[in-house]
Amino acid sequence: MAGSRKFRRFLVLALALFGLYFVFGEHGLWRIWKLKRRARALKEEVVRIEAKRRALEEEKKKLEEGDPEYIEKLARERYGMVKPGERVYIVLPPPEGAK
C-alpha cells in the first residue's frame, strides 16, 4: 500500500511537471501563442507599410510627370504658399470652455 501511494504521488508530480513544461516550456503553448500573436502584428505592419509604399510611389509618379494641379496642392498644403493677391485666413478653434 505504502509503495503504491508513493508511486501515485510520484506520478501526479511527474504529470504536473510535464503539464507545466508543456504549457510554459521553451516550445510550450504559451510561447507558441505569443509567437502567433507577434506574427499577426507583423503581418498587419507589413500591410500598413505596403500601403504607405504604394501611396509614396503614386506621389512620386505625380511629381515626376509634373502634374501641375498636384504640385500646386502640395505647395499650398505643405508649404503654405499662395498665389499673388490671395489672402490666407487662419481659422482658430474656439477657446476651451466657450460655447
In a domain, 53, yes or no: yes
Q: Is residue 94 part of a domain?
A: no
Q: Model-level pTM greater than 0.85?
A: no
CB 55, CB 48: distance < 8 Å: no
| Contact assessment for residue 22 and residue 29, using Cβ atoms and an 8 Å cutoff | yes
In a domain, 85, yes or no: no
Number of domains into which the chain is organized: 1
Which parts of the chain are beta strand (E)?
none
Are 23 and 29 within 8 A, CB to CB?
A: yes
Count other C-beta atoms under 10 Å from residue 47's C-beta. 10
> What pLDDT digit, counting tens, does each position of 37-85 carry?
999 999 999 999 999 999 999 989 988 998 888 889 888 888 889 999 9
Query: Does residue 22 form part of some domain?
Result: yes
Domain holding 28, by residue range, is 2-79
Tens digit of pLDDT for each residue in 7-30?
888 888 999 888 888 878 888 888
Residue 92 in domain:
no
Neighbours of 4 (CB within 10 A): 8
Residue 21 forms part of a structural domain: yes
CB 62 within 8 A of CB 70: yes
